Amino acid sequence: MSDIVALSETEYALLVAPPMKVTAHLAAARGHRQLFDDLPAMLVLMHLVRGLTEWYWVSPQAGDTHSRSPWATLSLAPLGACSMAIGLADMDEETRLTCLKALQAGQELLNMEGVLPSPTMLTENAWHALQHQDQGSAETALRNAGLLALQAIENWEARRAQTPAREH
């Protein structure tokens, strides 16, 4: 997936790198050697990147709107971040694409079921810290948001495991 390459270096550093770093640490704390090995953390990565991307898109402080990537490119940043993480796995292209489609479907299901708070709500504190170039506070805010999202996903998964399968 080359869409992440279409972001400027500034956009990547602002929208993708901080959530990638935080979610990799969260996955490691959960016993996963690689981020791509932790499905809930990958879903959180998508959600955090989405939130920062939405803040970036609507924020007049985010720099010159003429130099911003178009929304069509920015909207692909969450999946692009996951593609980068999955790129570390030793898998063929078809398997990688299947994983990305599964992540996209998982994110859609979480959204449909209202499992997670809105991405902009989760990332508001991080966005403001990034705007003030306070990387430490931004990482703390993203970590807290990531932990909240992970807990929400785990609670949802536990409820689903206890609910008998619905007949179709």
Cα dihedral across residues 13, 17, 131, 56: positive or negative:
positive
- One digit per residue, the tens of pLDDT, for the chain of length 168 reads 444 568 989 999 999 999 999 999 999 999 999 999 999 999 999 999 999 999 999 987 666 666 889 999 999 999 999 999 999 888 899 999 999 999 999 999 999 999 999 999 999 999 999 999 999 999 999 999 999 999 999 999 999 999 876 554
Counting every residue written for the chain, the total comes to 168
The token pair at 37 is: 């090995």
Cα 144 to Cα 101, 148, 167, distances in angstroms: 27, 6, 37
DSSP state of 15: I
Q: What is the pLDDT of residue 165?
A: 65
**Torsional sign, CA 152, 23, 44, 125:** positive
If we measure between CA atoms, which residue out of 156, 111, 153 comes closest to residue 26? 153
Residue 167 within a domain:
no
Distance CA 93, CA 32 (A): 23
- Residue 120, token pair as written in the block: 């902009």
Residue 77 within a domain: yes
Which residue is listed with tokens 């694409």? 97
In a domain, 91, yes or no: yes
22 part of a folded domain:
yes
Q: Is residue 72 in a domain?
A: yes
In a domain, 46, yes or no: yes
The total of structural domains in the chain comes to: 1
| Rg of the chain (C-alpha set) | 16
Q: Which domain holds residue 71?
A: 3-162
